Structure 1
Amino acid sequence: MTIPDHLPERLAITLWDFSWYVRTGPGEPFEDLDKAFASARELGYNTVRVCAMPFLLFKSGVDTKALRLEPLGGDYGQRVRWYDLKQPTVIDAREHLLAFFRAADRHGMVVIASSWEYQQSPAFAADSAWFEALNAVAPEQRLTVLGEAMADLVDFLAAHGLDHTLALVEPHNELQIGYLTEGLPGKEDAVVELRDRIEAGIAAFQARHPGVLCAPNYGGVPVAAMRGLPRNATALAFHPYVYGVLNDLVEEFALRRDPAEFPQERADAELLRPGAPRLADWDIPEASEWKRRASIMQRTEVYVHDWCDPEKVDRWLYERYGAQRFAMAAQLRDWIGVAADHARRLDVPVIFGEGWVGYTPRDCRFEEGPVGAQICRDAVDLSVEADAWGTVVCSNAAPHHPMWADVELQRECNARFIAGIA
């Protein structure tokens, strides 16, 4: 396993996703990039993982000199993590990317460049041009085009003397979740069926930048489909979201299924705020329908996140956590162990760029509370034991989430990981 000499021995990662450019308006958490980076350094981070919008900048043909970004539409998604943009903003996207990397360099931090473009990023554009350009690429060519776009990104950074700030690149976030799977036969796990596509994408990138680490990125750890990992990867990236009790919530309330299956009366009693509208009467504004398709999140799940009573949801999770506690802990250990084992087999570094419980409503505190905080500590310890190159304290430990205020937990976990102390 070879890590370039100029990069940190361990990566303490904070996840800024697409929020670092979407949420730049007045009062938004990334209005001042230097302030955000300085805060991250104070909390012990040395790495930021982001959507670097490579397709938009280098392959879309969209004019990005005055890129207009805005909320999804009305109040839709305003209490959903990652979706709760409030202030519209306009950026020169290339100049903003340079400003981001220059700020990272000033603060002594490195960057993991990825793409969320076939998942969520275009949903925040004021018009559908970006989303339409992505869809216009044939599904079997999408990862190759992304690999080429990421190579263009490295060229762009190198031309401005900033390529040394890259820790590694990922052609895309969570390959098997989103529009990259379109056109697959569906006979085997998507991880297996995607292998030829991701190998082609990595090859396209490596043909131009063989010295930059390039990692496929997977949602979860696909333990039944690890044979699908690309043979030309020079790093591996996984998101060990163990869900457990949160999956009970998702399944019992049909949050990711047909809205007709949603148990409205039970949700009223167990999850929702007084006065919440009926799911049947609530939706994204018609003019923003393309935004819903671009965001991939199911309408029922957005509805519950937007209209839940956070204390009710936290209580629901705490009351049922005991039945899932040992299974969640075992899955976390197994997934981290399996991911690290396959990295050793391929002789490449492994990072855990997201985790650990899952997608809780924005104002819930299950993952910030005593149970979730201990899961964060346990996951960081397991990352040390597995000799991971990089890990997060938690996906929610970032400037656009309430957990950013939990200073002690982040400092503690980052210090232990950097020192290699489990």
Structure 2
Amino acid sequence: MNGYRPVPIPAHLPDRLTISLWDFSWYVRTGSGEPFEDLDRSAAEAVDRGYNAVRICAMPFLLFGSGLDTSALRLDRLGGDYAQRVRWYDVGAATVIDAREHLLALFRALDAHGLVAILSSWEYQQSSSFAVERDWFDALMAVPPGERPLRLADAMADLIDFLTIAGLDHCIAFTELHNEVQFTHLVDGLEAEWGEDGGNAAILELKQSLTAALDRFHGRHPDRPVTVNYAHVPVGVMRGIPDNVDVLVVHPYIYGVLDETTAAFDLRGSLEDFPREQVDAFGLLRDGAPAATEWMLPPDSSWKLEATIVGKPEIFFHDWVDPDAFDRFLYERYESHRNEMDRTLVDWIAVAADHALSRDIPVVFGEGWIGYTPLHGDFEEGPVGAEFCRRAVRESRGVGAWGTIVCSNAAPHHPMWADVALQRECNALFTAPSVPSLHQ
């Protein structure tokens, strides 16, 4: 133990959180015909599938830290057909919202259906890239990197005050200052990239910054659990997790067979290095695919490429991949990764649970399982992916997790939302009185 006494989980919250990942889509995808056009309907559908919680980007910096007028926030796709076949980016219709009123509308819908929300922020990762104007992004980047966690803490505290005045704060499960802190603009300017093999100075510098921000939030709301969350499970650098988190939130994306394709095709590299001949040799792209370096936004929208951290080769690949060909490609290679993927899933869940137990705090798996697949591919929704969902939920239940997901794609803005039976099954598995871990 580190001497910190965690804030206890409020007694009125569910014993186990069955979480649907609504991220920033709940305000970006609100136009005509969009999945969140009717928030009440979305909430009702979530309950019907067995969920009792949603995890959202609450846009705290925009609403309470930027100083911008948010009464008529214009949101749209990144530009033209760019990223329209990429998960989370396939915005179908432009929208204009009064952002603060939209937050209240969401919480009223959640309250009406008995749902709670995990408050987070994707603002230093991608949220602002969906705004028509760049002032949100510019305001984010104008904050010196070392001050960004503190500004988020203040903004989140103000947002909770706002919900409290509206009588809706009982719908808050807990708060994350930001999503996946080690892969955001929060690490801009650190001595080395924060990661499993990152420099120790960078790891400790980010930890110090986040610790101060969590202290700031605790000073404003001492009775509310708060944390930050991490991509993957940061085995090897758990020392970088602040000592004053009240919940451990990690995202066990196991990738495996997806890692092979990401590395082979350099999807996290540069457009100039995209190995087009190698990709074409496998027949993975649709007819008419341009050169990777030609698949860009127009100059007046190029700031959006900085506002989103998604790799530009990955966007090109997902936009132009033949989803059936890519699914076959994955299935053909899956068997050589199966044991690795299975072992990683079990080990990461166990490591996270053990670390949380050592701190006497709950563990939550807010995202995860296989990884970032193309929008129209169904590897994660198919028989292999669905079984990983079941396995992961059982493992989550087996280690005593407070919250978990069916998988990151189980939300209104993904095709998997239509698989009602799988979501009901997995959520029932997690909330069952006793489900033994398969690795025990």
Contact 1:18-1:50 within 8 A present in 2 as well: yes
Query: Which residue of the partner structure matches residue 393 of structure 2?
Result: 380
1:82 aligned residue (84, 88, 91):
88
How far apart are the structure 1 equivalents of 2:220 and 2:119? 16
Q: CA deviation at 1:266?
A: 2.3
2:253 aligned residue (241, 260, 265):
241
How far apart are the structure 1 equivalents of 2:209 and 2:144? 12
**Residue identity opposite 1:212 in structure 2:** R
Does the alignment pair 1:67 with 2:73? Answer: yes
Query: Which residue of the partner structure matches residue 392 of structure 1?
Result: 405
What secondary structure does 1:144 align onto? helix
**Residue identity opposite 2:432 in structure 1:** A
Query: Which residue of the partner structure matches residue 20 of structure 2?
Result: 14
Measured against aligned partners, the alpha-carbon deviations of 1:126-176 in whole angstroms (never above 9, x if no partner) come to: 111000000011101100110111110110000000110000000000000
**Residue identity opposite 1:351 in structure 2:** V
Query: Which residue of the partner structure matches residue 322 of structure 2?
Result: 309
Query: Which residue of the partner structure matches residue 182 of structure 1?
Result: 188
Q: CA deviation at 1:348?
A: 0.7
**Residue identity opposite 2:261 in structure 1:** L
How far apart are the structure 2 equivalents of 1:189 and 1:403? 41
1:49 aligned residue (36, 55, 59):
55
Measured against aligned partners, the alpha-carbon deviations of 1:348-396 in whole angstroms (never above 9, x if no partner) come to: 1110000111110000000000000000001001100110000000000
TM-aligned CA distance change 1:86 to 1:213, over 3 Å: same
Does the alignment pair 1:323 with 2:329? Answer: no
Query: Which residue of the partner structure matches residue 300 of structure 1?
Result: 313
Q: CA deviation at 1:222?
A: 0.3
Contact 1:176-1:190 within 8 A present in 2 as well: no
How far apart are the structure 1 equivalents of 2:328 and 2:178? 35
TM-score by length of 2: 0.94
Measured against aligned partners, the alpha-carbon deviations of 1:233-290 in whole angstroms (never above 9, x if no partner) come to: 1111000001110010100001111223211122224210112112132212221100
Does the alignment pair 1:101 with 2:113? Answer: no
**Residue identity opposite 2:169 in structure 1:** D
Gaps of 5+ in 2: 1-5, 193-198, 436-440
Q: CA deviation at 1:190?
A: 5.2
Query: Which residue of the partner structure matches residue 276 of structure 2?
Result: 264
What secondary structure does 2:364 align onto? strand
What secondary structure does 2:357 align onto? helix
Measured against aligned partners, the alpha-carbon deviations of 1:104-141 in whole angstroms (never above 9, x if no partner) come to: 00000000000000001000001110000000111011
Measured against aligned partners, the alpha-carbon deviations of 1:281-318 in whole angstroms (never above 9, x if no partner) come to: 22122211001110111211100000000011111111
How far apart are the structure 1 equivalents of 2:134 and 2:246? 34
TM-score by length of 1: 0.98
Runs of at least 4 residues off by over 6 Å: none
How far apart are the structure 2 equivalents of 1:207 and 1:216? 16
Query: Which residue of the partner structure matches residue 227 of structure 2?
Result: 215
What secondary structure does 1:9 align onto? coil
How far apart are the structure 1 equivalents of 2:374 and 2:202? 27
Q: CA deviation at 1:15?
A: 0.1
How far apart are the structure 2 equivalents of 1:219 and 1:136? 25
Query: Which residue of the partner structure matches residue 148 of structure 2?
Result: 142
What secondary structure does 1:207 align onto? helix
How far apart are the structure 2 equivalents of 1:200 and 1:372? 39
Measured against aligned partners, the alpha-carbon deviations of 1:166-194 in whole angstroms (never above 9, x if no partner) come to: 00000000000110001211123855441
**Residue identity opposite 1:261 in structure 2:** D
What secondary structure does 2:388 align onto? helix
Q: CA deviation at 1:62?
A: 0.9
**Residue identity opposite 1:413 in structure 2:** C
Gaps of 5+ in 1: none
What secondary structure does 2:200 align onto? coil
Aligned-residue CA RMSD (Å): 1.1
TM-aligned CA distance change 1:219 to 1:273, over 3 Å: same
1:351 aligned residue (358, 364, 370):
364
What secondary structure does 1:323 align onto? coil
How far apart are the structure 1 equivalents of 2:160 and 2:43? 21
Does the alignment pair 1:156 with 2:171? Answer: no
How far apart are the structure 2 equivalents of 1:153 and 1:272? 44
Does the alignment pair 1:171 with 2:184? Answer: no
Contact 2:270-2:312 within 8 A present in 1 as well: no
Does the alignment pair 1:412 with 2:425? Answer: yes
TM-aligned CA distance change 1:185 to 1:418, over 3 Å: same
Shifted more, 267-276 versus 379-388: the winner is: 267-276
Contact 1:176-1:219 within 8 A present in 2 as well: yes
Contact 2:29-2:93 within 8 A present in 1 as well: yes
What secondary structure does 2:67 align onto? coil
Contact 1:49-1:111 within 8 A present in 2 as well: yes
How far apart are the structure 1 equivalents of 2:271 and 2:433? 46
How many corresponding residue pairs? 422
How far apart are the structure 2 equivalents of 1:321 and 1:57? 44
Query: Which residue of the partner structure matches residue 29 of structure 1?
Result: 35
1:281 aligned residue (267, 290, 294):
294
Q: Percentage identity across aligned positions? A: 58
TM-aligned CA distance change 1:372 to 1:189, over 3 Å: farther
How far apart are the structure 1 equivalents of 2:203 and 2:12? 32
How far apart are the structure 1 equivalents of 2:323 and 2:423? 23
**Residue identity opposite 1:45 in structure 2:** Y
1:199 aligned residue (211, 214, 226):
211
Contact 1:181-1:194 within 8 A present in 2 as well: yes
Contact 1:189-1:225 within 8 A present in 2 as well: no
TM-aligned CA distance change 1:225 to 1:285, over 3 Å: same
How far apart are the structure 1 equivalents of 2:433 and 2:69? 45
